[in-house]
Amino acid sequence: MMLTIGQLADYVGVTVRAVRHYHQRGLLPEPDRDASGYRRYGAQAVVDLIRIKTLADAGVPLARIGALLGAGPEEFGRAIAQIDDTLAARIRDVEQQRRRIADLAAGDRLFLPAEVAGLLDRLRQIGVSDRSIQMERDGWILLSARSAGQAAAMANQKREGLDDPEFRRVYLGFDQAYGWDRDDPRLDGLADAMVAFAARHAPGSGQEQDQEPGQRQDPSVDPVAMSLLSSQPGSLSPAWERVMQLAEERSGAAASG
């Protein structure tokens, strides 16, 4: 009336190899052998193995299970309570994983701080092209990776800047100019508008906010700088290169004039 290793393993719901592994690790005492050298198990082995399996299923490392099996009931009880806490936390973790894989299929909320996601939503809302939004997203991702806090603050600032109709006009004009020829006559007007807007919000104009130290330029009022955040090769079109060149010439002339 003793059990073979296969009967024991099947009843408890583990593999034969697992039982042998628990012997090797010293979790389950090696039983006596029968005449053929087969291990033969009694009821205590069933009880011990179910304990081991139950704890192992709960994710308790085998080394800790070994310590727990030798512990008194009060220490065992405390350990059980702590393991239960871990399992409760695991349930919350899995619930969050479900939300996150749902986000994965949905959009790009997952890749950005909430403030940046809010800015991108605002850009979509005012009619910015998908191409520019993609470039903004990539730029903000890189900025967030280097300094999440600073990126969030700057994104909020830029989103507020978009409440200004003139900033929206300049930003959308630059966005739409992407595919123009580099000698398109409208680029001059666009460069003028950008320089004029930047001048009105530049230091000394009396309109800027207090600058934080180390924050040399403020992308919330400078779509050119913002677009440069994602300086992937090829991201600048001929028209954009041209309008930036024109703007630089004019602001240089204004500074020296």
Partner DNA sequence: TTGCTCCTCACGTCACGTGAGGTGGC
Tell which one of 32, 38, 181, 188 touches DNA (CB under 7 A).
38
DSSP the chain: --B-HHHHHHHHT--HHHHHHHHHTTSSPPPPB-TTS-B-B-HHHHHHHHHHHHHHHTT--HHHHHHHHTS-HHHHHHHHHHHHHHHHHHHHHHHHHHHHHHHHHH-SGGGS-HHHHHHHHHHHHTT--HHHHHHHHHHHHHHHHH-HHHHHHHHHHHHHHTTSHHHHHHHHHHHHGGGS-TT-THHHHHHHHHHHHHHHTSTTSS-PPPPPTT--S-GGG-HHHHHHTS--TT-S-HHHHHHHHHHHHHHHHHHH-
**Total residues at the site for a second copy (CB under 8 A)?**
52
Per partner kind, with CB cut-offs from 5 to 8 A, the member of DNA, a second copy, none near residue 102 is a second copy
Binding mask 108-127 for a second copy (x = CB under 8 A): x-xx----------------
Tell which one of 71, 87, 126, 254 touches a second copy (CB under 8 A).
87
Per partner kind, with CB cut-offs from 5 to 8 A, the member of DNA, a second copy, none near residue 231 is a second copy
Amino acid letter, 253: A
Q: CB nearer to DNA: give 18 or 80.
A: 18
Cβ–Cβ under 8 Å, residues 179 and 237:
yes
Q: CB nearer to a second copy: give 20 or 186.
A: 20
Q: Is 37 an interacting residue with respect to DNA (CB under 7 A)?
A: yes
Q: Is 54 an interacting residue with respect to a second copy (CB under 8 A)?
A: yes
Q: Is 4 an interacting residue with respect to DNA (CB under 7 A)?
A: yes
Q: Which two tokens stand for residue 135?
A: 């470039």
Residues making up the chain, counted from first to last: 257
Q: CB nearer to DNA: give 65 or 135.
A: 65
Which of 37-45, 152-160, 179-187, 208-216 is the region at the interface with a second copy (rule: CB under 8 A)? 37-45
| Binding stretches for DNA (CB under 7 A) | 4-7, 14-18, 20-21, 25, 34-39, 56, 61-63
| Binding stretches for a second copy (CB under 8 A) | 1-3, 7-8, 10-11, 42-44, 46-47, 50-51, 54-55, 57-58, 76-77, 80, 83-84, 87-88, 90-91, 94-95, 97-98, 100-102, 104-105, 108, 110-111, 137-139, 141-142, 144-146, 148, 229-232
